[in-house]
Amino acid sequence: MKCEYCQKKISGRSDKIFCDSYCKSAYHYDKKKLKEKTSFFKKVDNHLKTNRKILKHLNIEGHTTLRKEVLFNKGFNPKFFTHYWKNQNGDLYLFCYEYGFLSIKNNTTDKYLLVKWQDYMTPSIGIK
């Protein structure tokens, strides 16, 4: 038998999987940390995928304006995005992969302008 944590050979009882209590707690600590990391990654990943799905679904024509509630009601979360693009006027378009959104205020209604990623938006190296 080898210790699950340090890989040292364990002498004595054959049902032991750790050489001592230190290895045992270190092993469980690492496992817990790994699980936390994985679940955070998955959480962000899920938000991004959900956002992308919603944007794709609502942006059939490639360019459209919608009230924010329409997106929020479907579970859209604007805090999760993959990258951004700023136009010459300084408007900040946020993207979830190839689907983007820009927050606009139009009289009293908060809206999103939905766009699709275009080739000219691809940043050159050394983003400003």
Residues that bind Zn ion (CB under 5 A): 3, 5-6, 19, 23
CB of residue 19 to Zn ion, shortest distance in Å: 4
Q: Are 1 and 10 spatial neighbours (Cβ–Cβ below 8 Å)? A: yes
Using CA atoms, how far residue 85 sits from 2, 40, 59, 103, 122, in Å, is 53, 26, 18, 13, 8
Q: Which is nearer to Zn ion, 10 or 54 (CB)?
A: 10
CB of 111 to Zn ion, least distance (A): 59
Least distance between Zn ion and beta carbon 25 (Å): 11
Instruction: Round to whole Å and give the CA distance between 114 and 93.
Output: 9
Do residues 77 and 53 make contact, with C-beta atoms less than 8 angstroms apart? no
**In the complex with Zn ion, which residue's Cβ is closer, 3 or 121?**
3
- Beta bridge partners, 64, equal 114
Least Å distance, CB 81 to Zn ion, is: 44
Residues constituting the chain: 128
Comparison of 21 and 89: residue with beta carbon closer to Zn ion: 21
